[in-house]
């Protein structure tokens, strides 16, 4: 437990204030987005408290959990239907892993894109520059909002096999 799985999981939950008044302590944390944990893998976690003077208390006992997730579909095909001028995406459920209850199809022109039904923010740089004087002059720097890329959702009924 010396090294966290990812910086995403190494968190300090600080007190929240509304109009200068402290709110009840934060006692839960959720993953910021899906896909951070692997199927059928043991994970371990523990917590500890820190007082308002910054002194840490002892660690809790270590707890274990295992994710039971569906595996990616197999036999994925993308075929053109020349009669209708459309394309059809087909797949089969993966025989291993948990049984899925739905599939979501995401699409983007960005290689390695994150799947996002609500959009996301991406840092952009200054583009290609040849001299330091060109920094921040070729294109704007900062964060841009990227539109959601959820294309479709297929819900599996109890009758699907």
Looking at the structure, do residues 60 and 87 belong to the same domain, yes or no?
no
Question: Are 98 and 59 in a shared domain?
Answer: no
In terms of domains, do 90 and 58 share one? no
Domain count, the chain: 2
Do 127 and 150 sit in the same domain of this protein?
yes
In 124-151, which positions are buried (b, 16+ CB within 10 angstroms) versus exposed (e)?
eeeeeeeeeeeeeeeeeeeeeeeeebee
Each residue's pLDDT tens digit in the chain (161 positions)? 777 777 777 777 777 777 878 787 778 888 877 778 887 888 998 998 888 888 999 999 999 999 888 888 999 999 999 999 999 999 999 998 888 899 999 998 888 888 888 887 776 665 556 666 655 554 556 677 888 999 999 888 765 55
**pTM, entire model:** 0.55
Contact indicator for 97, 81 with CB cutoff of 8 Å: no
> Looking at residue 33, what DSSP letter applies?
S
Q: Which of 54, 69, 84 is the last residue of a domain?
A: 69
Q: Note down the domain range covering 120.
A: 74-155
């Amino acid at each position: 437990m010396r090294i966290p799985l990812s910086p995403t999981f190494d968190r300090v939950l600080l007190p929240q204030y509304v109009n200068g008044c402290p709110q009840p302590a934060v006692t839960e944390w959720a993953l910021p987005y899906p896909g951070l944990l692997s199927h059928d893998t043991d994970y371990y976690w523990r917590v500890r408290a820190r007082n308002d003077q910054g002194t840490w208390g002892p660690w809790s006992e270590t707890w274990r959990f295992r994710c039971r997730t569906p595996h990616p579909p197999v036999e994925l095909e993308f075929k053109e239907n020349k009669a209708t001028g459309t394309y059809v995406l087909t797949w089969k459920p993966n025989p291993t892993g948990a049984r899925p209850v739905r599939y979501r199809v995401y699409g983007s022109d960005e290689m390695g894109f994150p799947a996002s039904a609500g959009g996301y923010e991406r840092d952009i740089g200054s583009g290609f520059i040849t001299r330091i004087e060109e920094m921040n002059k070729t294109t704007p720097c900062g964060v841009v909002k990227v539109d959601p890329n959820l294309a479709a959702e297929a819900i599996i009924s109890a009758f699907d096999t």
